[in-house]
Structure 1
Amino acid sequence: MLAPTKASARRINDKVADHLTGETKESLSVDTLEGVADANMFEQEFLNSLNFSGIPPHRIVLKVGTPIIMIRNLNSKEKLCNGTRLRVVSLRERSIQARVMTEPSKGKTVLIPRMISTTEDDDKKIPFMVKSKQFPVMPAIAMTINKAQGQLIDHVGVYLEQPVFTHDQLYVALSRVTSRKAIKIAADPEAIDEDGRVQCWRSVESTT
């Protein structure tokens, strides 16, 4: 399932995960501050709530069989890179055993450990660096359209609860499959114009 935004993808992942059978395993990140005089200047709850590109969420909930996607480069030799899709085989205390779903390592079983991720040094949005230790993955029952760029998927659903940001983004979503029969679109009526075409934010803003 592909969605225009991270928030939409996260909601789908959470709802579908609730209906999957099997034991649920929760992993919480360990978040710390770097580059500040007082590391206790912010509540831990505040640090856990921050979201940064390339850093896994504080709370990851998985079950055996759940599709996941790498959000960091782990091992370029083994092709475990940002964007690689896998399926959970088993959940361990210190690692995730998963089977690769994308070429060129499709079918290979790998172990994914927790990694330390940090905010980029050139990120000027915050006056400090956040260091987070967590599995470098996210559930991928649904993922963003941008994250799917460059991949071919056997069957895909596109969830448009709102207009896409650009028509290029819609093209990326629709071109992930090789057959029209392999794609389904669920769209909110407000995301479709009176001529039956999918709107993008640019065209919506120009009419307001």
Structure 2
Amino acid sequence: PTGVAALNVKGQTIHSFFNFYVDVTPQKIKEKTIKPRWDKTRLYKRLDTIIIDEVSMVRADLLDCIDVFLRMHGPDSDRPFGGVQMIFVGDLYQLPPVVTSQERAIFSSFYQSPYFFSAHVMESAPLEIIELEKVYRQKDPDFIDLLNRIRNNSLEESDLERLNSRHAPALHPNDPGSENGLFISLTATNRIADEINDAKLRDLKGRFHVSKAHIAGDFGKEYFPTSTDLQFKTGAQIMLLNNDSKKRWVNGSIGIIEAYQKDEEGEYYLDVALQDAEGETVQVYPYTWELYRYSLDEGVIVTEPVGAFTQFPFRLAWAITIHKSQGKTFDHVMIDIGQGAFAAGQMYVALSRCTSFEGVYLKKRIRRQDIRTDYRIHEFLTGYHYRLSESEMPLKEKIVFIQKAIREKTRVKITYLKANDTRSERVIIPLRVGEETYLGKAFPSLKARCLNRGEERTFRVDRILKMEVSEAQD
């Protein structure tokens, strides 16, 4: 959905690939107000698979636009998305699609939610969800569990107290000589981030330097990875925006500019002291980002560069917005939510950027209302798991399985979907099947001894996603 995300994987934005205008609608595509580029008509016919990254940020109406377009110009007009296989990648509990206040009323009359899964095409295009369970950014299991409870908005008071133990208003977060290393402030708004960066840059002694970008070919503003006129000083804290070919830094690495000078051939470069454990000082030269377009060459889909943007690969980084931090990893963060979190997933994204709990510092204490999730995501994911479970083992079969286990005194391993949409693996000894009522609604229940907890528990049978005889029996 975004230019920078597309640039990093040598892809294209949705709007660019389909030749959509900013105000694209399904109706405009049907009326042929929006047409495919003449040089891509054969490519659309040959499409097999499209991968959309950061799908949490894709609006429902945009997905319907893709469907209408591909039905008109893709391989098969009678199938969803023109018969093209769609792969959606992303975390729905992160930042949501943007719907302006002016759009909200009219949007809600057409769609149940702004999320991609509320697109009308999804009614005829069933999903298969694959969940990646291994966490790479954090290593501490307690911190990972805490982040999952923030993600699902299932925090207890003890969790909130633990979070607020990182409240450190007196900390000077950007003292390069501190034992904690460099900090980056994550802010709720662009205004706060800009104010912090401007003030920090002014406070530095020394002269201003300006680096002007060189732009060649067709490289739209929406793809600019950094400013065309970078202002900086020696001592500035920056975030590098590319992956170094020698693997000395990655996109998101933090460092301090130590020098700005020319090499033997007269080309300017920066000496940057990296934040990482080695504290290495590296030479950073201007970097060229290439913009690619897709085309068809003798029946094969190929990419071709159509534009280039050359500039020093950094932005000032005493502060960036939480939105811009999505996808990044930092060792030390100062989270500044200003007047409070205002978007679902905002606090989860901010906290989960950090590699450790000890690396998190809070400018203000977190309130319970700052932990926000969208109930529509929960309904979508829970509904999916229910339908999948019902297709694999219908409710009646589950009850028959449980009753047999009770008669034979068999231990059963279950995968249970908790109310906050998290799943847990348990080994139980079923005792009896009955019926419980919650909020006026009856559901089949299972009384069992949970061997994980060492106590009797009541489970909703419809929330048992999987069950099998446990290998460990008396």
TM-score range, shorter chain: 0.5 to 0.7
1:134 aligns with 2:311: yes
**2-side partners of 1:162 and 1:129: how far apart?**
42
Partner of 2:248: 79
Partner of 1:99: 273
Partner of 1:52: 223
More relative contact order, 1 or 2 (CA 8 Å, 6+ apart):
1
The 1:130–1:180 alpha-carbon spacing in structure 2 relative to 1, beyond 3 Å, is closer
What SS class does the counterpart of residue 197 from structure 1 fall into? helix
Structure 1 alignment gaps of length 5 or more: 36-46, 123-127, 187-191, 204-208
Partner of 1:183: 362
Q: What's the TM-score, normalizing by structure 2? A: 0.32
Number of residue pairs the alignment of both structures matches = 172
CA deviations 1:47-101 (Å, max 9, x no partner) are 6xx2426x222011111111111111123x4331111111110112511111010
* Deviation for aligned residue 1:161: 5.6
* Deviation for aligned residue 1:156: 1.5
**2-side partners of 1:7 and 1:30: how far apart?**
27
Structure 1 or 2: larger helix share? 2
The 4+ residue runs of structure 1 with deviation greater than 4 A are 5-8, 199-203
Partner of 2:29: none
What SS class does the counterpart of residue 309 from structure 2 fall into? strand
Of 321, 340, 347, 1:170 maps to: 347
**2-side partners of 1:148 and 1:11: how far apart?**
23
Structure 2 alignment gaps of length 5 or more: 1-184, 263-267, 295-304, 376-474
Contact 2:241 2:252 in 1 (8 A): yes
Give the letter for the 1:85 counterpart. Answer: I
**1-side partners of 2:351 and 2:343: how far apart?**
14
**1-side partners of 2:223 and 2:196: how far apart?**
20
Partner of 1:14: 198
Note the aligned Cα RMSD (angstroms): 3.4
**1-side partners of 2:360 and 2:218: how far apart?**
50
Give the letter for the 1:112 counterpart. Answer: V
The 1:28–1:181 alpha-carbon spacing in structure 2 relative to 1, beyond 3 Å, is closer
Give the letter for the 1:87 counterpart. Answer: I
Give the letter for the 2:364 counterpart. Answer: I
The 1:74–1:181 alpha-carbon spacing in structure 2 relative to 1, beyond 3 Å, is closer
The 1:180–1:109 alpha-carbon spacing in structure 2 relative to 1, beyond 3 Å, is closer
**1-side partners of 2:272 and 2:309: how far apart?**
22
1:3 aligns with 2:187: yes
Q: What's the TM-score, normalizing by structure 1? A: 0.66
Give the letter for the 2:281 counterpart. Answer: T
Partner of 2:39: none
Of 286, 290, 295, 1:114 maps to: 286
The 1:86–1:180 alpha-carbon spacing in structure 2 relative to 1, beyond 3 Å, is closer
* Deviation for aligned residue 1:141: 0.8
**2-side partners of 1:60 and 1:25: how far apart?**
8
**2-side partners of 1:150 and 1:181: how far apart?**
12
**2-side partners of 1:135 and 1:62: how far apart?**
11
What SS class does the counterpart of residue 166 from structure 1 fall into? coil
